[in-house]
């Protein structure tokens, strides 16, 4: 079967460098099930299947890629699921938990991480290749201009490492930007010491006007709040740590 044609609508950029594929596969710790998101033509899949300390599954939305994988990796067929990862119920598919790995499509990489967050107690680890600017955002700490909503939300429940940068020339077709590989490992936080639903709302509100002092976006979303203004109100969203947002969430809840 001929090679799969990359589809712009699916954000496909097929990795061609086997050395990098091997490094990505080796970055995931052993044990249990691993789900590769966006298997493409199997350049990463082959190294995952070569590991005897993982049971590798696949999620692939592109029917042409699925057909290609059936032909070239027939042993993978029983564990290759055709469909959209963002619509998959990981609790039903992997009740014992699953690690997530992949060369993630650029156009849905943030959505992939939000989906992982939904199942954070079932996803102990994730290794993904994404746009470099998104990778920097995920790994950035407070006070950095790359620090944003996804940084705070992911860092609340995961320890994040920026592993290495990947150049444009190792893809077909080559993207217009550099890529990077990140690793997320679930931290020890079982539950935040605040209303977690409100925490997400507070973080999103804070970054909705990230250039302004916090009192502006928070009042715009939650309206006037009783009592004195919080000491964080003179800061910008990017200056607060996860712990600060937990404190701010409790303060907002008391005054709503």
Structural domains counted in the chain: 2
pLDDT at 1: 54
The angle at the Cα of 127, spanning 20 to 147, to the nearest 5 degrees, equals 110
The SS3 call for residue 124 is: coil
For 35, 74, 100, 147, 189, the CA distances from 242, given in Å and listed in that order, are 28, 45, 24, 11, 12
Domain co-membership, 205 together with 83:
no
Q: Residue 242 and residue 248: Cα distance in Å, rounded? A: 10
Handedness of CA 173, 176, 180, 181 (dihedral sign): negative
pLDDT at 59: 98
Residue 117, number of CB atoms within 10 A of its CB: 17
Domain co-membership, 181 together with 235:
no
pLDDT at 224: 86
Domain co-membership, 78 together with 182:
yes
Strands (E), 104-231: 125-131, 158-166, 171-172, 179-186
Domain co-membership, 178 together with 210:
no
Domain co-membership, 44 together with 23:
yes
Q: Residue 230 and residue 248: Cα distance in Å, rounded? A: 8
In a domain, 168, yes or no: yes
Contact 233, 218 (CB under 8 A): yes
Q: Which helix (H) or strand (E) holds 110?
A: helix 109-118
Last residue of a domain, one of 157, 186, 215: 186
Q: Residue 4 and residue 63: Cα distance in Å, rounded? A: 10
pLDDT at 255: 87
Domain region containing 219: 196-255
The two three-digit tokens of residue 19, written as one number: 């050395």
Domain co-membership, 133 together with 244:
no
In a domain, 83, yes or no: yes
Walk along the chain (256 residues) and give the pLDDT tens digit of each residue. Answer: 568 776 676 767 889 999 999 999 999 999 999 999 999 999 999 999 999 999 999 999 999 999 999 999 999 999 999 999 999 999 999 999 999 999 999 889 999 999 999 999 999 999 999 999 999 999 999 999 999 999 999 999 999 999 999 999 998 888 889 999 999 999 999 999 999 999 999 999 999 998 999 999 999 999 988 888 899 999 999 999 999 999 999 999 998 8
Domain co-membership, 120 together with 20:
yes
Domain co-membership, 123 together with 209:
no
Domain co-membership, 40 together with 165:
yes
In a domain, 1, yes or no: no
In a domain, 145, yes or no: yes
Domain co-membership, 57 together with 176:
yes
The two three-digit tokens of residue 59, written as one number: 């999620």
For 147, 203, 254, 256, the CA distances from 247, given in Å and listed in that order, are 18, 12, 11, 15
Domain co-membership, 116 together with 47:
yes
| Tokens 């995931």 belong to residue | 28
Give the torsion through C-alpha atoms of 206, 212, 213, 216, to 10 deg: -70
Contact 128, 102 (CB under 8 A): yes
Domain co-membership, 219 together with 151:
no
Contact 61, 83 (CB under 8 A): yes
Last residue of a domain, one of 135, 163, 186: 186
CATH number at residue 117: 3.40.50.150
In a domain, 161, yes or no: yes
């Amino acid at each position: 079967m001929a090679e799969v044609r990359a589809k712009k609508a699916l954000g496909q950029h097929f990795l061609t460098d086997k050395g990098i594929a091997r490094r990505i596969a080796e970055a995931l710790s052993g044990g249990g099930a691993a789900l590769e998101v966006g298997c493409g033509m199997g350049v990463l899949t082959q190294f995952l299947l070569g590991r005897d300390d993982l049971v590798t599954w696949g999620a692939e939305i592109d029917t042409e890629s699925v057909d290609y994988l059936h032909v070239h990796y027939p042993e993978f067929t029983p564990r290759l699921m055709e469909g959209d990862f963002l619509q998959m119920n990981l609790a039903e598919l992997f009740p014992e938990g699953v690690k997530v790995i992949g060369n993630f499509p650029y156009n849905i990489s943030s959505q992939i991480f939000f989906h992982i967050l939904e199942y954070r107690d079932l996803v102990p680890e994730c290794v993904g290749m994404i746009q470099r600017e998104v990778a920097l955002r995920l790994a950035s700490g407070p006070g950095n201009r790359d620090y944003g909503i996804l940084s705070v939300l992911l860092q609340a429940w995961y320890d994040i490492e920026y592993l290495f940068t990947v150049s444009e020339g190792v893809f077909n077709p080559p993207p217009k930007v550099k890529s990077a590989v990140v690793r997320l490992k679930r931290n020890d936080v079982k539950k935040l010491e605040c209303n977690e639903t409100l925490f997400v709302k507070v973080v999103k509100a804070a970054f909705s006007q990230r250039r302004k002092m916090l009192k502006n976006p928070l009042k715009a979303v939650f309206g006037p709040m009783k009592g004195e203004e919080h000491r964080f109100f003179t800061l910008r969203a990017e200056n607060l740590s996860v712990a600060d947002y937990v404190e701010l969430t409790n303060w907002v809840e008391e005054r709503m």
